Amino acid sequence: MEVLRTENPEWQGRLKSILDRMTSVPAYVDESVRQILKAVQERGDAALAEYTGRFDGFDPVPDGFIVSEDRIAAAAAGTDPDVYASLQKAAFRIESFHSHQRERSWIVTEDNGMILGQKITPISRAGVYVPGGRNAFPSTLLMNVIPARIAGVDEIVVVSPTPGGVLNDSLLAAAHIAGIKKIYRIGGAQAIAALAFGTQSVPCVDKIVGPGNIYVAHAKRLVQGRVGIDSFAGPSEILVIADEGADPGIVAMDLMSQAEHDPMASAILVTPYETLAAAVIERIDEAAKTLPRRDVLEKSLKTYSLCVITQDLDEAFSVANMVAPEHLELMVEGAFGMLGKVRNAGAIFLGYHTPEALGDYIAGPNHTLPTGSTSRFSSPLGVHDFIKRSSIISSSEKATRELGLAAVKIARAEGLEAHARSVEMRIK
């Protein structure tokens, strides 16, 4: 794990090289995704079947693209009781947290009779992409489906790849808990194309949410505008600010909990305490050899992970705000008192006893978070992602007379005469 010191003027350049790792898409990815989108748009199910055979290694035609309600229910019944109970507990907590995000329509009436307001309407149909196969994430299904349900979305279309045709029972159990009646067994850019354009089997949706690999992320980027999307998801990230009271072994494991996701995942420790930094790096070197995803860990830690030694804790927060990480752990004394120093982060974990993994599974807030420094302007997935806001305006004759002349003057200042006359005809 590389060590940088902020006293070295070159440290920001190295940090920037890591933060910029997802700003450009390789040409071969772009070309492949564009071909897939075009093929699915033009040939529908035939193209879906072709790509599923090529990338997932099975022919979906004999059994169809849909995992039925009966199969989902059977998987739920056969799931380990402890796992099922844990998924139920997670679902309850996710629902409880996101229930606070509900928005309501409102209307106000001014003294002159002008009525203004905002109408909240759920989107009609949402598409949820859930990674599948060996790396299936039942927690991701819960995190994406439950806010949509709370928002009041009429139809939730779940897609998930099944490499080799193998279904993941834990994922199906999560679907059962979340009230999903069927899942489309498709993945990759072709699944995004199906959701965006619709096929003979898969309905088109209004918005697509959920994480995926670089092909999925780029496909979402290319169909944005035709449909809404949640964000441009990239590899997972964690930044830990730690003081001398932090346990080096715990800090090390928290960093590795994200590095094990992906070879391009980023784990960054920021601290003014060199002794702590050295101890954390030593623990990482020891523990990485014992973890099952060692190859992934080593690539992430070697290429995209850092330890930044700062002058003091204030500078550590400046570095964190520059990075704008997906996950930010404050492993410092009096963490709540330092919350005001945080400007950019997807999720903030406060104190020595709050591992990021708790937020991934059971705490309640959403784990679909802005990556790639986009927490500068983006937020975690939530109920708000599944609603639309419409403005309401109703003007009385009195209000139009009071406000109309100003509207006329602004319209003519902009050179839009028809705008001006449409108001003027009412106040004359």
The set of catalytic residues is: 326-327
Distance CA 121, CA 126 (A): 13
Report helix, strand or coil for 258. Answer: helix
The single-letter DSSP state of residue 227 is: B
The torsion region of residue 418 among left (phi > 0), alpha (psi -120 to 50) and beta comes to: alpha
Packed helices 81-99 and 138-151: angle between N→C axes, nearest 10 degrees: 40
Report helix, strand or coil for 38. Answer: helix
Rounded to the nearest 10 degrees, how much is the dihedral formed by the CA atoms of 124, 129, 133, 137?
-100
Apex 188 CA angle, 183 and 193, nearest 5: 80
**Helix ranges (DSSP H) in 107-187:** 138-151, 169-178
Please provide the distance, in angstroms rounded to a whole number, between the alpha carbons at the two ends of the chain: 75
- Residue at token pair 């022919």: 59
Distance CA 256, CA 154 (A): 39
Q: Which residues contact 255 (CB under 8 A, 6 or more apart)?
A: 238, 240, 267, 268, 269, 280, 284, 305
Distance of CA 278 to the CA centre of its chain: 33
